Amino acid sequence: MAAATGPGPMKRMALALLVGAALLYALATWQEGRGGHAGWGWLAAFAEAAMVGAIADWFAVVALFRHPLGLPIPHTAILPRSKARLGANLARFFCDNFLGTAQVLAKLRAFDAAGRLAAWLSRPAQAERLGRLGVAAAGQVMEAVDDQRLRDFLGRAAAAGLRQLDFSRTAGQVLETLTAEGRHQAMLDAVLGHAAQWLDDEALQDQLTESIAQEVKALRYVGLDQVAARLATRKLVASIARALGETAADPAHPLRQRFDTYMQGFVQRLQQDPAFVARGERLRDELLAHDGLRNYLDGLWQQLRDWLQADLARPDSAIGQRIARLAASLGERLASDAAMRAWLNEQLEQAAPAVIERWREDIRRYIEERVAAWDTDELVAELEQHVGRDLQFIRINGTVVGGLVGVAIHALTLMLR
């Protein structure tokens, strides 16, 4: 913001007019006393009234900021004395006229935030800019996260959290959720399907045939080992496939019921069996104490960090391009979806009153406290810097207008005589 023009030049001009009026009054009075031209009387009347107007307006302007001539005259130094009231009134004016709920909501409706967001994201330059900002932010996050002190702290916090975790009961709760309403049967169907595809594989059947042929060595001498092995393989595969098909087709198949019973028992043991709980705790502690696991995770992090840093350092960062494409795609989708834009605007309007009510009083108190804490001399200096020049025009106008009024009174006096 540019600094306001100071009141100095205008103050000197107002003072010069006052001095000029005083000199003119002295000259006109002297000439009139010597029996000079009658026009000197008019000039004397003008100069006298101009002095009165200039001095009165000087008093009024000075009284706003300080005591005139340092005298503690009542109702002077108005702004310093009324600083607290000024802050309260300023805060009330600002909050009532700029932060009123109705005013803000009306502005929000006219603003169309969703439409503006869609238009902003749809512009390629803005999407690319957002991508660059995302890359810059990611780089700063990487630098912060890569600090060894932070990594040690996070490692200790994660280890402490894991030590408090009951692996066995947690696993039981997860499995209980997964098996609710027969969801595990869908998993069984998937397993049966994969098993059927696995048995249908010719390479697997050849391996089974070779294994069976090696077991029937007695038939090798008559050349029947491979024949018997292929026959056994076909029977074995057909038998297993038939069992799998029957299980998959029959929701009440005994194998499914046995699977249900096993899963229920396993979940119950995970949550209630002390041996399972103790085994889960031992497994947890062994994992936390295992140097190989720690080194493996640290190596993964190093690889991820190196890749991220290398990508973020490139002008054509893949992450930045991805962010830009997502932003542009979001803008296009939002621009073409009027219902979504309407929903976003409605959410803003619904959320705005609570936010306004929450922060309005805080803003009001902040303005009041800021003005109350403002140094009086600093306040006066700032106000004089910004409005003092205009106030000097009051003195100038008072000089001129006062002189004209003096001429009018002098004319009226002559007429009445």
pLDDT tens per residue across span 174-208:
666 666 656 566 666 666 666 666 666 666 556 66
Q: What is the pLDDT of residue 222?
A: 43
pLDDT tens per residue across span 145-173:
666 676 677 666 766 666 666 666 666 66
Q: Is residue 206 part of a domain?
A: no
Q: Is residue 47 part of a domain?
A: yes
What average pLDDT does the chain have? 75
Question: Which pTM value belongs to this model?
Answer: 0.41
Q: Mean per-residue pLDDT for 50-74?
A: 80
Q: Mean per-residue pLDDT for 116-120?
A: 87
- Domain housing 56: 9-76+374-416
Q: Is residue 226 part of a domain?
A: no
User: Does residue 286 surpass a pLDDT of 80?
Assistant: no
Q: Is residue 14 part of a domain?
A: yes
Q: Is residue 85 part of a domain?
A: no
Residue 10's closest CA among 311, 390, 344?
A: 390
pLDDT tens per residue across span 340-349:
888 988 888 8
| Out of 108-112, 155-159, 354-358, least confident range | 155-159
Q: Is residue 347 part of a domain?
A: no
Q: What is the pLDDT of residue 12?
A: 85
User: Does residue 288 surpass a pLDDT of 80?
Assistant: no
Q: What is the pLDDT of residue 181?
A: 58
Q: Is residue 106 part of a domain?
A: no
